[in-house]
Structures are given as C-alpha cells and as structure tokens.
C-alpha cells in the first residue's frame, strides 16, 4: 500500500482528476500531457474544450423546483490525491435518503453529470472520469452516490451509469499508478496500438520513430561503433 494512503495525499501532490481519461486511454499520453506538459491542440481537443466551456464557465448554481444544478463545481479527494472540476452536479431533493446542504432546506441526493462532445465510446475512459468525480463528492459531502450520468453532445442524450465497486477499484488503482509514475517522472515508451489513430498527441509522440530506437540505444550504438574502430 502506498504510504500516503494511510492519511491521504498532501494538497501539493494532488494530480488533475481529468488526467484519468488520458491515463486509461494511453499511459504514455497521460505522461506526455501531465508530466512533460506537451499537447497538440488539434481539432478534436479544441472542439472538446469549447464544448466543455459551455458546461462550466466558472462556478454557478441554480434551483429548478426540487433540483439544484451546480456548474463548474471544484472537487478534490485526499484519499485519491486528486482535484478537478465537475461539469454539472445535480442535487435532487429527497428528504428520506438525502444529505443536508448548507443554507438549503430539505435533504438531497447527489449526481455528477459529465459533458462530452462526441458520442458514447467503447472504452471506459469517460465512465472512469465521472466515477472519480463521484468519489470526490462522496468524500467532500460524506455521502454515497449510486449513479452518475454522461451527456453526449452528438446524440444530445444523457446515459445513466451505475457506480459499482469494480469501477471504483479501477479509479483507485489508476490514481495510485499515476502517483507512482508522477513521483518518478516516468514516461512509458510508445507502443503503437489502435488508439494511436485517434490520439491528439500522435504528432508529438511519433510512435513509429520511438519504436525503432530510443536516443539511449542510438548513443550506445554510436559509442560501440567508435570503440570497435
Ligand atoms: S500516439 Fe499512441 S502511444 Fe503515443 S501517446 Fe498517443 S496513443 Fe499513446
């Protein structure tokens, strides 16, 4: 077990929550963005950012009948060692099973809603991000969240996602591994997969070149050739 897990991570060691979608898509992509701070603002990421801007442009909240809608809510978890922003958090009034909110009458159940530009994906990257938000909210509000939602811009529909133990464990494991890599400043080597075609960093990553030889291999080969002369 990671020693930080006993008392929780320090705030200065928090990672960006949204990094879990990069990490689960490709560990190298996450390291290039979050450790080496490299990114390529291609069309896909620019469109995604604009769409996100609509969902949260600073923090705000509004009440519609029995639902309070919070946009751009900052969240964190000491246990996971992460912080981030929730696109939308819905607080639905439920006096029997909900939690009390400061300054609000009644009790509420809590549901994160994550906005995505495209359509539902085959992988679990979006689910993991939303589950991580839910786990932060649970820790901050001392509550249990049974489900959350993913809203996809292309189909203009939200999908309900149950937050089962399996997905929660994947979130814990991913952040634990991310913290280990981050401490060591470790960037995994490029490995060409199907994911590379849709990767916003493929021009920077250049897996086809990295695959052939690393800089270290090149230098030691040159030194070896000189010694042999
Ligand atoms: S190009 Fe492929 S290996 Fe490189 S960061 Fe993207 S997905 Fe990962």
pLDDT higher than 60, residue 223: no
Instruction: Looking at the CA of residue 202, tell me the nearest atom of ligand 1.
Output: 1
Cα-based distances in Å from 70 to 3, 92, 113 = 34, 11, 10
Q: Which residues line ligand 1 (CB under 6 A)?
A: 26, 28-29, 32, 190-191, 195-196, 199, 201-202, 205, 207
Domain 3-188 falls in which CATH fold?
A: Lambda Exonuclease; Chain A (3.90.320)
> Once rounded to an integer, what is the mean pLDDT over residues 175-179?
98
Domain chopping of the chain, boundaries: 3-188
User: Of all atoms in ligand 1, which is nearest to the CA of residue 200?
Assistant: 6
Q: What is the pLDDT of residue 217?
A: 56
| pLDDT tens column, 36-81 | 887 655 545 555 555 555 555 678 889 988 999 999 999 999 999 9
Q: What's the mean pLDDT when you consider all of the chain?
A: 86
122: left (phi over 0), alpha (psi -120 to 50) or beta: alpha
- The CA distance from 63 to 193, in Å, is 46
Work out the pLDDT band at 141, boundaries 50, 70, 90.
very high
Which of ligand 1's atoms lies nearest the C-alpha of 191? Answer: 3
Burial of 93 (0-12, 13-18, 19+ CB in 10 A): middle
Q: What share of the chain is helix, strand, coil (3-state, %, to 5)?
A: 45, 25, 30
Q: What percent of the chain has pLDDT over 90?
A: 65
Length of the chain in terms of residues written = 229
The answer to whether residue 89 scores a pLDDT higher than 90 is yes
Mean pLDDT of 94-107: 95
Query: DSSP string covering 145-197, please?
Result: --EEEEEETTTTEEEEEE--HHHHHHHHHHHHHHHHHHHHT--PPP---GGGG
Confidence grade of residue 35 (pLDDT, cut at 50, 70, 90) = very high
């Amino acid at each position: 077990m990671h020693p930080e897990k006993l008392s929780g991570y320090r705030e200065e060691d928090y990672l960006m929550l949204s990094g879990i979608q990069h990490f689960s898509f490709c560990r190298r992509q996450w390291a290039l963005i979050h450790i080496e701070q490299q990114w390529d603002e291609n069309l896909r990421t620019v469109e995604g950012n604009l769409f996100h801007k609509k969902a949260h442009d600073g923090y705000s909240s509004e009440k519609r009948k029995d639902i309070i809608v919070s946009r751009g809510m900052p969240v964190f978890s000491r246990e996971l060692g992460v912080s981030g922003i929730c696109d939308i958090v819905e607080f639905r009034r439920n006096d029997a099973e909900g939690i009390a909110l400061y300054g609000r009458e009644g009790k509420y159940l809590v549901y994160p809603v994550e906005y995505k530009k495209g359509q539902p994906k085959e992988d679990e990257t979006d689910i993991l991000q939303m589950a991580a938000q839910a786990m932060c909210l649970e820790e901050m509000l001392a509550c249990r969240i049974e489900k959350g939602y993913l809203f996809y811009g292309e189909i203009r529909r939200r999908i309900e996602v149950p937050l089962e133990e399996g997905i929660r464990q994947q979130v814990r494991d991913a952040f634990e591994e991310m913290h280990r890599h981050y401490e060591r400043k470790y960037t995994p080597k490029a490995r060409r997969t199907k994911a590379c075609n849709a990767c916003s960093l493929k021009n920077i990553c250049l897996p086809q070149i990295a695959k052939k030889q690393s800089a270290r291999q090149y230098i030691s080969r040159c030194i070896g050739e000189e010694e042999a002369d």
